[in-house]
Chains A and B, each alone.
Chain A
């Protein structure tokens, strides 16, 4: 475990040395503050459009940070020729992968805390309330979704040739799942065989990231999600993380280091 944490620590340091997070955070803040300064029909209590915009920017920024940070981890080690010296130490390939995964996931978690604190402050400035438990559920589900994405990108970084192609493919896949994942079975029913079966297989095998997108509940002040279902969603997320990390570990074991 110490080895995994040591590798993870290096990844976290890398994130706060790079400028990606700061740029995205400042851009998010600027856009939201400019939009907050707009007064519509002289009513300063209108907030939901602002919450929606802020959460959209948080989601886009977090996905950009998660995918771009993870996609370059293993290829960068290869390119800098530090992978072989690293594995020459008492570090197994699985530990290295888990360390990279944990580092990226924790780094995204830290970024999410900053984003959600800003979101909470922005919402509280007009709503004068702070539904902490709702925000906790939304942020933690968001974080677990990023965990699945990070594990998927880590697997992609071992399969695809370059970080750029891996990032692009992962953005398309994640965007596709978030937009269409819930409706793939409905679409399948309108198609002839064997395309229908292909669509249904995809529907049942993809990670349904839309479970973790509870922005509508936060924007429109819906009550808390039942804790039982919330817990099941987290277990579902962990399940997919394990699947992707196991796949990545199996691929990495068979690859040459150079």
Chain B
């Protein structure tokens, strides 16, 4: 029989359709907002949207990898605060380390946290929700203890490189966008074109069947948590560079929820086994644009959360209706 080449493997068609729909929605949002208030399309505003999207997408990608493999990571926001504080303290006068050294240290720490999450979850069979909830509390607490709850900042002149990484632009495009691209390409390749990546989908769909099939379930789940923490640490450093300071009690607050929202908008299912990384970036861009929409429509910024929640709810409801329709056919 002639192989049917018109169709890509099942999970890709569905995910790419969702990405397509989300892109349409995003374009619509941008268009309508720009039409209502042309200020939105100014270079400054667009650059800030791009920068935030890029930084947020980094940890959302990590979250998505964890969610695809059937887990969840609630510690993202606290890890952002902790890593931000840690990086700035190491750079500061007390330690006076160079930026590359600091990057190595915070990345290693993040990987350690991720491996710890994964090991507790797989080794002791603890629930991901609980383990990472504990980290959410512990890391936030430690960040505040280390700084005596005082905002840590750095001198932009002295640490120009860090400042440029977070806030600078190249040819008019914010630097974080390049960093995101640099992460997205290998991660996308990993998830969609390598065997371990494919296994992460299998684990998320049915962990027992994957284990019976000889997939190294535990090792891969640990890798997923490590990747998530690592990407979060990168986002933390960029965010610190952008804002030039890290308030330990506020930095990264509720970012885990941003990450989860972005992943779901981008087509991930919290049941695991579904989603594409490109979709997550689109989802995150949508999230960021909604934030701007609230501002440019002259609503109080207090509306941001409510509007975001409504959009997510609408997305989930529409998705489930479409799914029910396509299954009944």
B is bound to A: no
Binding site for B on A (CB under 8 A): none
Interface residues of B (CB under 8 A from A): none
